[in-house]
Amino acid sequence: MSLSRIVITGVGLTAPNGNSLAEFRGNLLAGVAKISRIDVRYMGQLLAGVCTYDPLRYQKKKELRVGTRAGSIGIYCAREALADAGLTADQLARDRTGIFVGITEHGNVETENEIYAISKFGYDTKFWSHYHNPRTVANNPAGEISLNLGTTGPAYTIGAACAAGNLGLIHATQMLRLGEVDFALCGGVSESIHTFGIYAGFKSQNALAHHEDPNRASRPFDKARNGIVISEGGALYTLERLESAIQRGAKIYAEIAGYCVNSDASDYVLPNPGRQAECVRTAVARAGMQPRDIHIINTHATATPMGDIQECEAIRSVFGEGCPDTSINNTKSFIGHAMGAAGALELAGNLPSFTDRVVHPTINVDDLDPLCALPGLILNRPKSVDRVDTILNNSFGMLGINSTLIVKRFVS
Amino acid sequence: MTKDEVKQVVLDIIADIAPDEDLSNLKPDVRLRDQMQLDSMDFLDIVMELRKRHGIEVPEADYLQLATLDSCGEYLTPKFNALASKG
């Protein structure tokens, strides 16, 4: 079966250290992390990656009052991606545009807020908001984007734990190839820093990072890593079939080369390096490549003691020692773990490597864990390389969901 | 409370639930929904905020009484005063 070629033609994002691809990339190359301390309900001051985009740029005050933070992040990213693609919402074929947004979870924030609100009224549920259901339905972030843009094609979320950002792009690719849509906005978003439950859950798991200096707290592969920094954020892409992108003279960032999604079927939270390796290997094979053809691997590593080692084991088993042109990095060391947005944001941070031929590093590695000492790991400083033709992006999540997405430099 | 004070209470609520609207020229005798963007969920916000901020209950059968600022004043003033006298 001959599959349509799918290309990325626009990127819109908000990350703790940047509200555009240019700002984000600049900080990744300059070693600028941005982690803050915020008040988390019932728990006090904790570390978080906080986004500083202007929500009023694309939303009215009333939309912000009624909607969710995830919806707002999604709207900002979608509008920015469209602008980057050289399009306005009015130019879209409304019923042929799909919106596919990866989420780790949705509804925790809004439910916690309502329970807190009625606690002030003796837990009398007559004070429970009539907005609770539209705010907490799982399709909320995608639905808010469709309302804001006025698109009438399919718009829904893809729940895939922390693999969700990749899943947004993968699903959009499939929908474009099926001919279900002609244009897609896709990626992932997260509002997770606004729920105490996720903090408390990671804390109970002993998986929440702590460090005197917030910007040094997220430290994948370092011996002193002690867990995850939770972040909010989003990255959405415009995806099109190649012929439509060429027809309208679009700028092309990259072409989707291959992907794989599989399941560990082994544990609720513990990763499975064997299944991760299968996921990576299958994606490489589907891209028609060999491991040595991959020039950048962006790892999922979240800085948990075991998780990093297991991903390194998976990568080692696929790439071994025979891939001299393969560089390996990590983006969470700068921005923390943006949950449902992680995969999409981390891919975005690497896309400019196709043109500037620089690989951004993973920072905060003072003492490399020997069990994470992969050949090609780019530590603390960016590295210039001869060429970057391919980027492999890993994103894994709880309940054993693994995703690998490979994009390649566009060559007509 | 006077009717004008009650109308101001309602206006304060509307200012919060419709923050993009210019309320300076609202006509007190014209239906609110005919003068501004106010959907059924916004209307429920008025009911909810009266309950939360002032302990005032508006049964569903009486929702039409909140159609205009004037009718709000007529309908709600006795409720506010009854609450104050309990108080």
Last residue of a domain, one of A247, A270, A294: A247
Identify the domain containing residue A178 by its residue range.
6-247
- Asked if A215 and A270 sit in the same domain, the reply is no
pLDDT value at residue B87: 67
Question: Could you tell me if A130 and A149 lie in one domain?
Answer: yes
Contact list in B for residue A66 (CB cut-off 8 A) is 41
Each as own residue / partner, the long-range contacts of residues A270-273 (CB below 8 Å, 24 or more positions apart, any chain) are: A270/A306, A271/A306, A271/A307, A271/A310, A271/A311, A271/A396, A271/A400, A272/A310, A272/A400, A273/A310, A273/A311, A273/A313, A273/A314, A273/A317
- Phi first, then psi, for residue A357 (nearest 5°) are 55, 40
Host H or E run for residue A143:
helix A140-149
Distance from C-alpha of A193 to C-alpha of A231, rounded to nearest angstrom: 6
Cβ-contact A16, A34 below 8 angstroms = yes
pLDDT tens-place string over residues B47-64:
999 999 999 999 999 999
Residue A59 has what DSSP assignment? S
Residue A252 located in a structural domain: no
Nearest CA in chain B to A117: B52
Question: Residues A212, A308: one domain?
Answer: no
The verdict on A210 and A281 lying in the same domain is: no
Whether the CB-CB separation of A154 and A219 falls below 8 Å is answered with no
Are β-strands A44-49 and A230-231 bridged in parallel, bridged antiparallel, or unpaired?
A: parallel
Domain boundaries, chain B: 3-78
**8 A C-beta contact, residue A369 and residue A309:** yes
A77, A27: one domain = yes
* Cα–Cα distance for residue pair A56/A70, rounded to 1 Å: 14
**Residues A106-117: tens digit of each pLDDT:** 999 999 999 999
For range A139-167, the mean pLDDT: 98
3-state secondary structure of A119: helix
Does B20 sit within 8 Å of A130, measured CB to CB? Answer: no
Which CATH fold would you assign to the domain B3-78? Answer: 1.10.1200
Q: Which of A350, A361, A175 is nearest to A253 (CA)?
A: A350
Q: Annotated catalytic, A360? A: no
pLDDT digits over A185-244, tens only?
A: 999 999 999 999 999 999 999 999 999 999 999 999 999 999 999 999 999 999 999 999
3-state class percentages of chain A: helix first, strand second, coil last, to nearest 5 = 40, 25, 35
Could you tell me which of A336, A333, A320 has the C-alpha nearest to residue A381? A333
In a domain, A384, yes or no: yes
Task: Find out whether A296 and A389 touch, Cβ atoms under 8 Å.
Answer: no
Asked whether the beta carbons of residue A60 and residue B20 sit closer than 8 angstroms, the reply is yes
The arithmetic mean of pLDDT across residues A260-280, rounded, is: 97
Task: Verify that A227 and A291 share a domain, yes or no.
Answer: no
Whether A300 is catalytic is: yes
pLDDT above 80 (res A57): yes
Q: Is B1:B84 a contact under the CB 8 Å cutoff?
A: yes
Find the range with the poorest average confidence among A61-70, A98-107, A317-326, A401-410. A317-326
Q: Considering the candidates A171, A211, A337, A360, report the single residue annotated as catalytic.
A: A337
Task: Provide mean pLDDT across the span B13-39.
Answer: 95
Which of A63, A65, A120 is best to mutate for the B interface (most B CBs within 10 A)? A65
Give the residue from A195, A161, A189 showing the smallest Cα distance to A398.
A161
Q: How large is the average pLDDT for residues A79-99? A: 97
Q: Mean pLDDT, chain B, as a whole number? A: 95
**Nearest by CB: A130 against B18, B19, B41:** B41
Both A113 and A49 in one domain: the answer is yes
What is the structure's pLDDT at B1? 93
CB B17 within 8 A of CB B46: yes
- pLDDT of B45 reads 97
Q: Does A115 share its domain with A145?
A: yes
Among A187, A215, A247, which residue terminates a domain? A247
Query: Per the structure, how many domains does chain A have?
Result: 2
Q: Where are the beta strands (DSSP E) in A163-222?
A: 183-190
- Examine the fold and report which residue of A247, A274, A290 is the final residue of a domain before the chain moves on: A247
Our measurement of the distance from residue A293's CA atom to the centroid of its chain's CA atoms, rounded to an integer in Å, reads: 23
Residues 6+ positions from A249 with CB-CB distance below 8 Å: none
Q: Which two tokens stand for residue A258?
A: 């291959």
Query: Do residues A253 and A11 lie in contact, with contact meaning Cβ atoms separated by under 8 Å?
Result: yes
pLDDT band at B86 (very low <50, low <70, confident <90, very high): confident
What CATH code is carried by the domain that includes residue A52? 3.40.47.10
Cβ(A372)–Cβ(A300) under 8 Å?
no
Is B41 close to A66, i.e. CB distance below 8 A?
yes
Q: From the candidates A171, A194, A300, A360, which is the catalytic residue?
A: A300
